Amino acid sequence: FLDHDITFTPLFNNEEGSGIKCCDDKTGQPLRDVQHPACFPIEIPTTDPFYQKYNQTCMHFIRSLPGKQTDCSFGYGEQSNQITHFHDASNVYGSSEEDAKELKDASEGLLKIENRKGRQLLPYDKDAGCGIPEEIRIRENLDCFRAG
């Protein structure tokens, strides 16, 4: 949990801003003909004890965006970070005032919660691009929680 407070590596996106797909959601196979250059799909054996239950034989793996050189010259790609490097709970409360206002209950300053099936949970992230492929989200009735 702590490492998510200090690192969030940016990834390549498609021109329209959606995530890059390295695997075909219908067949579960790596996309070979129209594969993005940043894709490095991980093939999963059909006999894998966990993933065979989900008929998944491919895992999306996308190369991270290279950061610029400290002197702004060309050279080897450097890793970059999208969030603060401080242990400040930004992965919970966000890295900006705008994020914090969206995540916190205005009256008490605590995280917003929703009651679902008798449990207090974080609100769902309404954006579709939370990292779970759409076919799996629909089939398994999954959603991602909204947090920093």
Average pLDDT of span 12-36: 79
Return the C-alpha torsion angle 38, 32, 15, 4, nearest 10: -40
Residue 43 has what pLDDT? 93
Full DSSP string of 10-75: -B-B-TTSPBPP-B-TTT-SBP-TT--TTB-PEE--TT-TTGGGGT--EE--BPBPPBPPTTS---
Answer yes or no: is pLDDT of 6 > 90. no
Per residue in 121-131, pLDDT tens?
888 876 655 66
Backbone angles phi, psi at 107, to 5 degrees: -80, -35
Q: Is 4 a catalytic residue?
A: yes
Q: pLDDT tens across 40-49, in order?
A: 999 999 999 9
42-84 confidence digits (pLDDT tens): 999 999 999 888 888 999 888 887 777 778 777 777 777 777 7
Closest listed residue to residue 111, CA positions, set 82, 73, 147:
147
Across residues 103-120, what is the average pLDDT?
Answer: 83
Average pLDDT on 4-10 reads 69
Contact at 8 Å (CB) between 125 and 15? no
Catalytic residue among 4, 36, 60, 87: 4
Q: What is the pLDDT of residue 45?
A: 94
Percentage of residues in the chain with pLDDT exceeding 70? 89
Tokens of 13: 């996106």
Q: How far apart are CA 2 and CA 9, in angstroms?
A: 15
**Average pLDDT estimate for 26-47:** 86
Percentage of residues in the chain having pLDDT higher than 90: 8
pTM of the model: 0.53
What's the half-sphere exposure (Cβ side, CA atoms, 13 Å) at 5?
9
